[in-house]
Amino acid sequence: MTDTKTRSPRSKSSSKTNWFRLGAAALAIPLVAALAGGLLVALALILANDRLPPLDAMLDYRPRIPLRVYTADGQLIGEFGEERRTFVHIEDVPAVVKNAVLAAEDARFFEHIGVDLVGVARAALVNFVAGGTEQGASTITMQLAREFFLSSERTYTRKIVEILLALRIEDNLSKEQIFELYLNQIYLGKRSYGFAAASQTYFGKPISKLTAAEAAVLAGLPKAPSRFNPMVNPKRAIERQRYILGRMHDTGLLSDADYTAALNQQLVFMPAHADYPVHAPYVAELARQLAFDLYREEIYSAGMKIYTTIVSEDQRAANEALEQGVLDYDRRHGFRGPERMLDLPADAAAAEDVVEASIGDSDDIGRFLAAVVLEAAPRRVVVSRGRGSSIEITGDGLKFVAAALGERAPAARRLRRGAVVRIVDAGKGAYAISQLPEVQAALVALNTTDGSVRALVGGFDFERNKFNRVTQAWRQPGSSFKPFIYSAALEKGFMTSTVINDAPVLIDPARTGGQLWDPKNYDGKFEGPMRMRTALAKSKNMVSIRLLDAIGPQYAQDYASRFGFDPERIPPFLTMALGAGSVTPWQMARAITVFANGGYRIEPYVVARITDINGRLLASAHPGQAGDESLRAIDARNAFLMDNMLRDVVRMGTATRARVLKRNDLAGKTGTTNDSIDAWFAGYNPRISAVAWVGFDQPHKLGDRETGGGLALPIWIDYMATALKGAPEQETQAPPGIVRVDGEYYYAETQPGQGIASLGVSEDGVAAGADADLIRNQVF
C-alpha cells in the first residue's frame, strides 16, 4: 500500500474571509490617517478661527479716496493720493459690469457660501496632477478676504485662513455688500482701485457709460493687472477680453447681437500720458497747494473735491494754442540734433537689447515718443522703440530733419545709427521725426468781472518741468508795460492827443541806475512829433521815455502798484519806460484787466469751492466784483481812455494780426524785451482778458526777428478764437466826464477830490486853465 501525503482541505468561505481581513486592514490605514488628518485640520481650523483678524475694516469700510480736482463744468483734471479710488454703490454699477466680473471671476458667486466646493475640487485635482499650486479656486469673497487681510503668497496654510475668512465674511455681510466691496476695493493696475476708478483711468469715462466690450477688458484685470493691462500688453488684454465675452455669451448674459457688437467694437483707450479728460496739470497743482495749506495731509485720503474756475473748452483751446505756438517757433529754428547717441552693436538682436535697456515708456513725453535710429539715409530712416518693433519713416516724416541726413550734415546734428530722437504720430499709421522744444511759454485767461481763471497753462509740458511760469516766472515785461506808464501820464494831466517827440535821447547813468543809455526804437526809426495815441499803437520807445521823464519814475512806480505790481521789482528809473522791471504773467493778467473792466482791480482766483466726500461745502471763494468801488484802482475816465488807445494797438498798431478774429472789441499791447529775450501779449475784450508769454527758462535770445507780435500774439489769437466764439461784440460806453471832439476823447472837466490832475476840457473842446494851450500842444 502506497503512502500518500494529504493537506487539510480549505473551504472557499475561509479563503474569502482572510482576503477580506487583509483588504480591510489595508484600507483601514489610510482611513485612520485621513480621520486623524481631518481631526488635526479641524483642530487647526478651530485654532485659526480664533486668531482670525476682525472684520472691522470691512464692516466700517472707509476707503482712502484721493483728492480730486475738477473744472467748473465738472471735468476731472487731477487726482492726488497714493491710490485712485471712486466709491460706487452696487445699485449704480451697470449690469454689464457686474455680469462681466461674475463671468470672469466667480460665476457661482450668488450660489455658494463663500467657498465654491466644485471649484475647490477641480483646483485640487489640477494641483495634484501638476504637483504644485497652479489653481487657487478663489471666489470673489476669498479674493476680498485676501485683498483686505492677507498677503499674496501661495501656501496651503494661507488658503485655509482665506477660506475661514471668506466663511466669516459671508456670515456677516450680504452678497450685495460683498460684491459692492469687491467692485470698489480690487486692484486693477495703474494705481486704480475699483472698477469706477479704472473706468476713468483706462477709458476716460464714468463706469455708467461702459460698454460690454470695455467692461470685459476691466473684468480681465483682477487676475493679473500688469499682464492684462491693455496699454502695456494689448494682445493679452484682448485675448482675455474675448474669453470673458465668450463666457458672458455662453451663460446667457450677452445676446447674440450684443456679443457680436462687443467683439467688433473698436476700443479707444486713454493716452498713456493723458489720464484726464481735460489736461490742466498746472491748475490741479495750484489747487492741491491751496487745499494742503488748509487741510494738510488729510487731503490725500479723505475724498475731498476741489472745483476750480477753469472752463473745459477754454482750457483745451489754451493747451492747443500754446503747443502750436511753441512748435511753430521750434520748427522755424530747425533741428538741433539727436538727444544723445547709443553705441549699437551690429547684431540686430543685440542692438534691440541695447534699445530696450536705454529707452522705455517712461521716456516718452506727451506725444513725443522716444526712439533710436537703426538706419539713416536721405530718404529713409528706420527707428526702434524696443520690444522688437521697427518703424520706417519716409517722405513728409523726414522734412524737419532733412538737413541732418547724409554725410554732409554737421556732425553734431547728423542723424545716424544709434541716435536717440523723438517721433510723433503723423496720422494714417505714419510717423514723423520731431524734437522736444526747448523754448517755453505760458498763458492765463481771466473773467474780467470777477477774476476767475478760465484757462491756465504754465509751460509746454508739466511732466518734464513742473515750474509754473504763470505764477512763478519773474520776467521783464518789455513794451507790454507801457500802458501803465501811459495811464500814469493821463493821471498827471496828459491827454491821448498830446504831441510828444519821437526823437533820439541820451540818458545820464544817474537816471538809469546803471550806465549811459542810448535807447532805440525796435525798428531803429524815429518819426518825430506824434500823438500819444499813435505812439502807443506803434510802441515808440522814445515817447515812453519822455512821458516817464515828465511824470517822474518814482510817481510811475507808485502808480503801478495800483495794478498789483510789486514796487520793489519795478525800479524807479527811466528804463521802466521800456519794461525793465520784473513781473509774472499772473500779475500782468490782473493788471491789464483793470483797463477792461472800467478801472477795478480784482484778484485772480482758480479755486471756486472745496467739498468733502459727501458733497458738504468746506470752503468757497468770495471774489471781488468789478463795480465794487472799494476795488477801484484807477478813475473810470482813465480806464476808458486807455481802453480806447489799446484798441488802436489792434486796429492799426503792433497787434494788427489780431484783426483776423474780425472783432472790433479787442485791445492789448505787445511786448518784446531787449535782445528779444521775452515776448509778450497782454490783451482783452470786455469779457475776457488773457496774457501770453514766450521765452527760455534760462533767458537768452529768441532770435533777431522774434517779437511779442510774432510769438506771443498768435497764441493769444488762437486761444481767443475759441474763448470768444459766438460771443457778441461789446462796445465800451464813455463814462461821465468824457467828451468827444473831432474824433478824439478828452476829460470834460476836472473832478476835484478824485485824484485826477488832468487839465479840464470844456464841452466845446476848448481846454481850460492858464497853461491849457501849452500842455495841449506841447512837444515833449
For position 124, what pLDDT does the model report?
63
461: nearest Cα among 359, 557, 328, 368: 368
DSSP letter for 563, please.
Answer: G
* Closest to 643 (Cα-Cα) out of 626, 662, 667, 663: 667
Q: Cβ–Cβ contacts within 10 Å for residue 275, how many?
A: 20
| CA gap 529, 540 in Å, rounded | 11
Give the C-alpha separation, 432 to 472, whole Å. Answer: 34
Closest CA to 579 of 560, 604, 558, 555: 560
Sign of CA dihedral 561, 563, 566, 570: negative
- Residue 292's H or E segment, with its range, is helix 281-295
pLDDT band at 678 (very low <50, low <70, confident <90, very high): very high
Instruction: Output 131 or 11, whichever has higher pLDDT.
Output: 131
pLDDT of 497 above 60: yes
Rounded to an integer, what distance in angstroms lies between the CA atom of residue 752 and that of residue 38?
104
Q: For residue 622, what is the DSSP state? A: -
Across 292-308, average pLDDT: 95
Distances (CA, A) of 591 to 2, 285, 563, 705: 142, 24, 5, 28
Give the per-residue pLDDT at 54: 73
Which of 139-153, 444-458, 491-505, 530-544 shows the lowest mean pLDDT across its residues?
139-153
The least confident of 14-18, 56-60, 164-168, 301-305 is: 14-18
Q: What does the pLDDT read at residue 119?
A: 67
Q: Per residue in 636-661, is it b (16+ CB within 10 Å) or e — as a string?
A: bbbbbbbbbbbbbbbeebbbebbeeb
Q: Take residue 467 and report the three cell numbers written for it.
A: 515750474
- Selection from 467, 512, 399, 353 nearest residue 697 by Cα: 467
Q: What percentage of the chain carries pLDDT values higher than 70?
A: 84
User: Scanning the structure block, which residue is given the C-alpha cell 512821458?
Assistant: 547
* Non-local CB neighbours of 374 within 8 Å, separated by 6+ positions: 344, 351, 382, 383, 384, 390, 417
C-alpha angle 674-680-685 in degrees, rounded to nearest 5: 145
pLDDT at 272: 59
> In sequence order, which residues have a C-beta less than 8 Å from that of residue 479 and are 6 or more positions away?
522, 539, 541, 544, 578, 579, 654, 669, 670, 671, 672, 680, 708
Inter-helix orientation angle 175-185/95-105, to 10°: 90
* pLDDT value at residue 756: 30
Q: Looking at 92-106, 154-168, 378-392, which range is the least confident one?
A: 154-168
Active site residues: 105, 479
The predicted-structure confidence for 249-259, as pLDDT tens digits, reads as follows 999 999 999 99
Among the ranges 514-528, 587-601, 732-746, which has the highest mean pLDDT value? 587-601
More confident call, 137 vs 109: 109
Q: pLDDT category, 57, cuts 50, 70, 90?
A: low
Going 32 to 38 to 39 to 41, the CA torsion angle's sign is positive
Closest by CA to 367, choosing from 437, 416, 313, is: 437
pLDDT of 84? 83
Query: At a CB cut-off of 8 Å and minimum separation 6, what does 711 contact?
Result: 325, 329, 679, 694, 702
Q: Flag whether pLDDT at 690 surpasses 90.
A: yes
Other C-beta atoms within 10 Å of 436: how many?
Answer: 16
CA gap 371, 183 in Å, rounded: 39
Q: Let me know: does 714 contact 657? Beta carbons within 8 Å.
A: yes
Provide the pLDDT confidence category of residue 389 given band limits of 50, 70 and 90.
Answer: confident
**CA 682 to chain CA mean position, Å:** 24
Strand 499-502 relative to strand 667-672, pairing: unpaired
Per residue in 353-371, pLDDT tens?
999 889 877 788 888 999 9
pLDDT at 191: 84
Output the CA torsion 182→186→192→195 (10° steps).
-40
pLDDT tens digit sequence for 506-529: 888 877 777 888 999 988 899 999
Q: Which residues contact 548 (CB under 8 A, 6 or more apart)?
A: 485, 556, 574, 576, 577
Read off the pLDDT of residues 338-356 as tens digits, 9 standing for 90 and up.
999 999 999 999 999 999 8
The count of residues in the chain is 780
Q: Return the SS3 of 31.
A: helix
Q: Give me 594's grid cell.
A: 483793470
pLDDT at position 772 is 34
Model pTM score: 0.80
Residue 155 reports pLDDT greater than 80: no
**433: number of Cβ within 10 Å:** 25
Higher pLDDT, 111 or 147: 111
Which residue's C-alpha cell is 542810448?
A: 518
Sole residue written with cell 535807447: 519
> Are 422 and 370 spatial neighbours (Cβ–Cβ below 8 Å)?
yes
